[in-house]
Chains A and B, each alone.
Chain A
Amino acid sequence: MRSLQSNGKPKITAKNFNLFYGDFQALKEINVDIPEHSITSIIGPSGCGKSTFLRSINRMNELIPCVKTTGKIFLDANDIFTQDVVELRKQVGMVFQRPNPFPKSIFDNVAYGPRAHGLKNKAVLEEIVEKSLTDAALWDEVKDNLHKSGLALSGGQQQRLCIARALAVEPQVILMDEPASALDPIATLKIEELIQNLKKEYTIVIVTHNMQQAARASDHTMVFNMNPDRSGYIIEYGKTSQIFTNPHEKITEDYISGRFG
């Protein structure tokens, strides 16, 4: 695999990272640098381990009992596996494929993270909620209804609520697993715009099946592929502009131009 030539300093680094579900190896020898303050998209055929890799970065995979890993992942220069997992997830937030607001009010949804981390001051909470919702481009739509249930919002609004909820914790990295796959084109574009604005303060990694979305919304693109034994690896990683106009690998070419298999 060609490694990425990037001027940005790496925020996340994987070194010889392998992941197993029981006996099945889902990720094989992942070596990668993800630069700070940029948007990195992960693309690749279904089942090649994109979500698995994403969920490794905030150790979400540990919720699955049979998962074992070897190798290392670093956040800045710190090994994430020796860090306290709660502390890690505070720094590495996650937005899921399906919007999953809690069955609580909009306010309580956004305030959930800060409260969990011990913040009680009502005024400060209100400030955080407003800032997060504003950053997630949702404030104007919900500011008069903060006590309405998060579940009463539309799908696109729910997803932005989930983004706001993640922002409220003030993470450094935001992982997104197909965040727009359940949304209409307008909501999708809104979220893409939003991601562009967020990259000034955050490092964003986004899994997507939508080539156009990866091409439009990301600075770097990481292409996963599957070995014959179905383990996933990174076949190519580079500037999005290069991957989508002139990929180096034939497999990447076939995949992005829809001629895979």
Chain B
Amino acid sequence: MNQSLTDQEKKILAREKASRKSNIQRRRISQNIAFTFLWLIGLAAIAILVWIIGYVFTKGLSTVNLEFLTTRPAGGFDGEGGISTTIVTTVYLVIFTLSIAAPLGIGAAIYFVEYANEAQNRSKFIQWLVRIARTGVEVLAGVPSIIFGLFGFAVFVSYMKLGFSLLSAGLSGACLVLPVIIRTTEEALLAVPESYREGSLGLGATKWQTVIGVVLPTAIPGIVTGIVLSVGRIISETAVFWVTLGGSYRLPQNLMSSGRTLALHVYMLATETRAFDKALGTSAILIMIIMILNLAINLSSKYFQKRLSGK
């Protein structure tokens, strides 16, 4: 083939080849630079993280022992006592908040994803309502938590006269995590292939049977993830509960009791006492719980993945 080329053409060809080669080299170099850069950034992020966790654990874990975990805080300027009641309060609050937020959030998401479209077609008013609700969820998801706290304080604590109590805190907490649950559930439902719904409806199942029988079971992993995320959010939240739960370190007797969560306890120890070591110890416990929760998300999503794909 080359014989048919004139000298002129051969030269052009050679130049073309050469330029292509240098181009490849140049591209390789820029790729290497980019990779190195990204590596450095990644390393820095991990280093900072390890530093924080390492700091908290090394300073904090020395105060942690069985006694610390099982005795109640005794208050005072030195932050006497352990953290037993705050753990229990945290558990109470998580359960109570979720028992309000989960059904509401999942229900709302099901309505938005499975029913709203149909309903919107039937009436302009519903269409308007749905749009407002959707926007509301979007906005709430981005609102700083202290605003939820102020709202909870104004409405539940003062206006409804529920005082600083598990009830006020649970209701406010529910407002806080509702957008999280709605959005993750919505996403999980939207990820269920349309073909499952068609398959079920095509067999003569009703809409409701389809949602309960096929859609929800398939969306469970996503929904569980949303709920676990909410648990994390409740555990680590301080601002909202600072203005709704009060801060009593006694064990709550009923829904109207005031209380103190782990995170709140850390905050109070750090700001109102000299027991900085105990604040760090409690923090270590908090971080450990959060890590366990993350692990739980990972394991559960792996488990569901396996079960759903049938492998």
Contact = CB atoms under 8 A, between A and B. Distances in A.
Find out whether A and B make contact in their complex, taking CB atoms under 8 A apart as touching.
yes
Interface of A: 58, 60, 63, 65, 86-90, 93-94, 96, 98, 100-104, 112-113, 116-117, 148-152, 162, 165-166, 169
A104 B310 CA distance: 8
A101 B308 CA distance: 11
B199 A87 contact: no
B222 to A, nearest CB: 13
A40 to B, nearest CB: 19
Given A102-B196, A112-B213, A150 B202 contact: no
B292 interface: no
Q: Which 8 pairs of residues, A with B, have the shortest CB-CB distance?
A: A149-B310, A152-B310, A90-B204, A100-B195, A116-B205, A113-B203, A94-B202, A89-B204
B210 to A, nearest CB: 8
A228 to B, nearest CB: 31
Contacts of A63: 197-198, 201
Interface of B: 117-118, 121, 193, 195-206, 209, 213-214, 217-218, 307-311
Contact of A148 (B197, B214, B310): B310
A149 B23 CA distance: 52
A89 B202 contact: yes
A17 B204 CA distance: 23
14 contacts: A58-B202, A65-B118, A86-B204, A100-B195, A102-B200, A103-B310, A112-B203, A116-B206, A148-B310, A149-B309, A149-B311, A151-B309, A152-B311, A165-B203
Contacts, number: 85
B201 A60 contact: yes
Nearest to B193: A100
B167 to A, nearest CB: 39
A96 B203 CA distance: 12
A60 B311 CA distance: 32
Contacts of A88: 204
B202 A93 contact: yes
Contacts of A165: 199, 203
Contacts of B209: 116
Contacts of A112: 200, 203, 205, 213-214
Contacts of B308: 103, 149, 151
Given A112-B213, A149-B309, A150-B310, A100 B198 contact: yes
Contacts of A169: 203-204
A87 B204 CA distance: 7
A88 B213 CA distance: 20
Given A60-B198, A103-B196, 17 more contacts: A58-B202, A63-B197, A65-B121, A87-B204, A90-B204, A93-B202, A102-B196, A102-B200, A102-B214, A103-B310, A112-B205, A116-B204, A149-B311, A152-B310, A165-B203, A169-B203, A169-B204
A230 B192 CA distance: 32
A100 B199 contact: yes
